[in-house]
Amino acid sequence: MNEQQVVITGLGAVTPIGIGVKAFCEGLETGRNGIAKVTQFDVTDFRSKLAAEVKEFQAVEWIDKKSAKRMDRFTHFGIAASAMAMEDAGLESFSFDKNRAGVIIGSGIGGSKTIEDGYSTLQENGPNSLNPFFVSKLLINMAACMVSIKYGLKGPLSAPSVACSTGSNAIGDAFRILQRGDADIMLAGSSEASINPLPFGCFCATRSMTANDNPENACRPFDKNRDGFVMGEGAGIAVLENKQHALKRGAKIYAELVGYGNTADAYHFTAPEPNSDGMIRVMQAALRDADLEVEKIGYINAHGTSTVLNDKCESAAIIKVFGDYAKSLKVSSIKSMIGHLMAGAGSVEFVSTVMSVFTGKIPPTINYKEPDADCPLDYVTNVAESLDLNAAMSNSFGFGGGNACLIVKKYEDIN
């Protein structure tokens, strides 16, 4: 069976530095810092005090008020980003076969605020006081399901949950569906809204989040003095489409999705494998899938969490995969600006990577001051750079050892 070519025709993003792709990209290019003291609850007794919150988001701009009350914040984000992507792709006003259009939107924690509220209600007022809509608010698959319902999309539907690699896995799974010819259009990505006391406190307990209370240097991937990640929230959605289907309807094409890799460390529930084996194999798998030589990759949107181990291991893995060419690669981590969106990270970083290939603008790693001998690559630091990119890679590595890698190639209209 011949594999179908897959292109990106629409993008949507809800992020701590901008709602909508235009605002998000402007924030990236100017090095906007979306990290500040948590405002959603009192962090006085928490080890970490900072987060990258989505500000000025109004769910009722995307969802009617009654329905919005029956959904958790992560579902609000997913619907909003999907609506942006659908509009961007020109699909809200275009007639297409909805039996051949599907949705894959994942989440790591789902409705954590709903869970906390529900437990409080149960403890205070007993089981008969629980609202039946708690169920539809807390389930991880609700963002995907509500988007499917909103647009009447009756093709493949799923909601992966693979910690921090969730978004990249969702996009990769949708990519495979389109390659097989099982759909014409897929909305794919992830959403997370876990800046709530319980998940925030749990990650504080792992000591993987920074205790630094200065937003200007709290998140500094690849810097020698990095000491942990900053939790963020948000959603990223891409419209992936069969190339011939997109051309037939005259769609705008941002780029081509050409490679996907997925591996497991099978090592530890939080720490990356010390020899970076899983990271190495996932990048190699994506390159094989894309049928690209390493020299064709000009930029890597790194997972770059600002933790000591992750940044060291990822840098080592890039050097192993790319060899002598590694020193010619541009590498950056947008987590320095938006924090770690947890399951939302991979999809928002994919949106950023697609836009880098489309516009030739590489976002910086801000807050970078002191080089680390364990991270010896050519990081784009503090100021965005311009580069004509043939192809770019986006890495995602999750707790539990799940690794995902996506490769985006510049679209060339040769038809």
Choose the CATH number for 6-248 among 3.30.930.10, 3.40.47.10, 1.20.1250.20, 3.40.630.10.
Answer: 3.40.47.10
Pairwise CA distance, residues 345 & 76, whole Å: 17
The mean pLDDT of 195-200, rounded to a whole number, is 96
Per-residue pLDDT reduced to its tens digit, 35-74:
999 999 999 999 999 999 999 999 999 999 999 999 999 9
Per-residue pLDDT reduced to its tens digit, 85-101:
999 999 988 899 999 99
Q: Is there a catalytic annotation at residue 164? A: yes
Q: Using CA atoms in the order 177, 299, 27, 20, what is the torsion angle rounded to 10 degrees?
A: -10
From the candidates 303, 313, 375, 405, give the one annotated as an active-site residue: 303
Residue 229 in contact with residue 305, Cβ under 8 Å? yes
Please give the full DSSP string across 197-241, using - where no structure is assigned.
Answer: HHHHHHHHHHT-B-----TTTS--TT-TT---B-BB-EEEEEEEE
Mean pLDDT is lowest, of 68-82, 188-202, 264-278, for 264-278
The mean pLDDT of 308-337, rounded to a whole number, is 97
Confidence of residue 1 (pLDDT cuts 50, 70, 90): low
Confidence of residue 141 (pLDDT cuts 50, 70, 90): very high
The set of residues, in sequence order, having a beta carbon less than 8 Å from that of 65 and lying 6+ positions away, is none
From the candidates 25, 164, 204, 405, give the one annotated as an active-site residue: 164
Per-residue pLDDT reduced to its tens digit, 156-180:
999 999 999 999 999 999 999 999 9
How high is the pLDDT of residue 273? 87
| Pairing mode, strands 101-106 and 185-192 | parallel
How high is the pLDDT of residue 269? 83
Whole-prediction pTM value? 0.97
Whether residue 288 has pLDDT greater than 80: yes
Closest to 287 (Cα-Cα) out of 393, 150, 203: 393
Per-residue pLDDT reduced to its tens digit, 355-373:
999 999 999 999 999 999 9
The set of residues, in sequence order, having a beta carbon less than 8 Å from that of 30 and lying 6+ positions away, is 384
Mean pLDDT is lowest, of 113-117, 247-251, 331-335, for 113-117
DSSP one-letter code for 365? B
How high is the pLDDT of residue 414? 66
Confidence of residue 136 (pLDDT cuts 50, 70, 90): confident
Two domains, one topology: 6-248 and 260-410: yes
Q: Is there a catalytic annotation at residue 303? A: yes
From the candidates 76, 204, 313, 340, give the one annotated as an active-site residue: 340
Please give the full DSSP string across 125-150, using - where no structure is assigned.
Answer: H-GGG--THHHHHH-TTHHHHHHHHH
User: Could you give the residue ranges of the DSSP H alpha helices within 208-344?
Assistant: 243-248, 277-290, 308-322, 335-338
Pairwise CA distance, residues 89 & 68, whole Å: 24
Pairwise CA distance, residues 330 & 310, whole Å: 18
Higher pLDDT, 15 or 269: 15
Q: Is there a catalytic annotation at residue 340? A: yes
Q: Where are the domains of the chain?
A: 6-248, 260-410
How high is the pLDDT of residue 3? 86
The percent of residues above 70 in pLDDT, for the chain, comes to 99
User: Could you give the residue ranges of the DSSP H alpha helices within 19-61?
Assistant: 21-29
Q: What is the mean pLDDT of the chain?
A: 96
Pairwise CA distance, residues 354 & 85, whole Å: 13
The mean pLDDT of 276-282, rounded to a whole number, is 97
Pairwise CA distance, residues 343 & 337, whole Å: 17
As a CATH number, domain 260-410 is 3.40.47.10
Per-residue pLDDT reduced to its tens digit, 243-268:
999 999 999 999 999 999 999 999 99
- Could you tell me the two tokens for 108? 């790591």
The percent of residues above 90 in pLDDT, for the chain, comes to 94
Pairwise CA distance, residues 395 & 278, whole Å: 12
* Helix and strand counts by DSSP (H, E) for the chain: 13, 15
Taking CB atoms within 8 Å and a gap of at least 24, the contacts of 262-270 are 262/169, 262/172, 262/402, 262/403, 262/404, 262/405, 263/403, 264/401, 264/402, 264/403, 265/401, 265/402, 265/403, 266/401, 267/401, 268/401, 269/399, 269/400, 269/401, 270/206, 270/208, 270/399, 270/400
Whether residue 2 has pLDDT greater than 80: no
Pairwise CA distance, residues 268 & 404, whole Å: 17
